[in-house]
Amino acid sequence: MRQNAAYGGAAGPARSAASPRADFTIEQDWAAYTDEEHDIWRTLFHRQDRVLRDRACGEFLDGLRGLGVAADGIPDFRRLNDVLSRTTGWRIVAVPGLVPDAVFFEHLANRRFPSTCFIRSRAQLDYLEEPDIFHDIYGHVPLLMNPVFADYMQAYGEGGLKALRLDALHYLARLYWYTVEFGLVRTREGLRIYGSGIASSKGESVYCLEDSRPNRIGFDLLRVMRTRYRIDAYQETYFVIEGFEQLFTATRPDFSPYYSALRQEADLPPGGRSCRATSSSIAAAAGRRRSPIKKGRADARPRV
């Protein structure tokens, strides 16, 4: 599935007659879903269940099971929130479609995940330009059950508000794209999926791991933030983390000097193979040679 924008749900059929609140939230109106809509969820759920069994990382599959996201129909956010809030303090809030960047980040920074409510039509099972409830809930929410990833997402929201002030959002959006949406993780069993854009797409779940065409590159924060991405095709490059702790530590420093250094460098194409991972000048400017990661308490949250 492709997305038009990195953030939030996209405009779909409205499910609530009420106007959104000031923070763009609405009621999910779960009782209004039709049998056909529940059946589309079941179709998507069952086929992804088979595809992801040996392709998604353990944390994703554990989160899915723990959350009780069920095969029997579109979940009621109130039920999911009972479990999610007890586990990591996150909540799902319903939004009618795309929300402004600042609103999206404000929700994340307060451990609220905005999800759209509409579900794709049966004709769109394999391709949808906009995130729907299957992408937002099945793709995103299982990892919000993981404490490390849950902290990363909150820090991302705080970092997003800062990036807006520093006019650096395009750099931070690439981090979201190549981790939260399209990330791979190395495990003892081999490469596994954790990105929600992959996890909610049958075709890309297979392509990202088994096709010979895409690059699979070790996670390098600055290279990620320099690399443009495609929104209208499968990714040409996937960045591979060694575990969620790596995301946690890589995003702990203040990103302000990184943004200054990145402005001196050209962007990298989505599928480039020959470029160096990170130029020496950008690494030096960002202080990576001396101290790649600021020392902090083991439980200190990332700051981005």
Which residue lies nearer to Fe ion by CB, 108 or 283? 108
Rounded to the nearest whole angstrom, what is the least distance from the CB of residue 181 to Fe ion in the complex?
A: 5
Shortest distance in whole angstroms from residue 6 CB to Fe ion: 8
3-state secondary structure (DSSP) of residue 114? strand
Backbone angles phi, psi at 93, to 5 degrees: -120, 140
For the record, the structure tokens of 44 come out as: 């998507």
Smallest separation, CB 60 to Fe ion (Å): 14
Closest CA to 12 of 136, 167, 141: 136
Q: Is 128 or 285 the residue whose CB approaches Fe ion more closely?
A: 128
Q: How far is the CB of 83 from Fe ion (least distance, A)?
A: 20
Which secondary-structure segment (H or E) carries 87?
helix 77-88
Give the separation between CA 85 and CA 111, rounded to whole angstroms: 9
Of 154 and 196, nearer to Fe ion (C-beta) is 196
**Minimum distance of Fe ion from residue 144's CB (angstroms):** 12
User: For the purposes of burial, counting CB atoms within 10 Å of the CB of 299, is it exposed (0-12), middle (13-18) or buried (19 or more)?
Assistant: exposed
Closer CB to Fe ion, 183 or 253, in the complex: 183
Strands (DSSP E) contained in the chain are: 91-94, 112-115, 184-187, 190-193, 215-218, 237-241
Which of residues 195 and 253 has its CB atom nearest to Fe ion in the complex?
195
What is the C-alpha separation between 275 and 277, in angstroms, rounded?
Answer: 6
What is the rounded CA–CA span in Å between residue 57 and residue 272? 26
- State the minimum distance, in angstroms, from the CB of residue 232 to Fe ion: 15
35-52 and 202-210 are packed helices; what angle lies between their axes, rounded to 10 degrees? 10
Task: Tell me whether residue 145 or residue 286 sits nearer to Fe ion (CB atom).
Answer: 145
Interface ranges with Fe ion (CB under 5 A)? 196
Give the position of tokens 């954790």: 194
Q: Are 223 and 277 in contact (CB under 8 A)?
A: yes
Q: State the minimum distance, in angstroms, from the CB of residue 196 to Fe ion.
A: 5
Going by C-beta distance under 8 Å and a sequence separation of 6 or more, which residues neighbour residue 53? 61
Distance of CA 92 to CAs 27, 56, 107, 115, Å?
11, 22, 10, 7
Q: Given the complex with Fe ion, which of 196 and 251 has the nearer CB atom?
A: 196
> DSSP letters along 213-231, please?
SSEEEE--HHHHHHB---S
Q: Which is nearer to Fe ion, 7 or 33 (CB)?
A: 7
Least Cβ distance, residue 40 to Fe ion (angstroms): 18
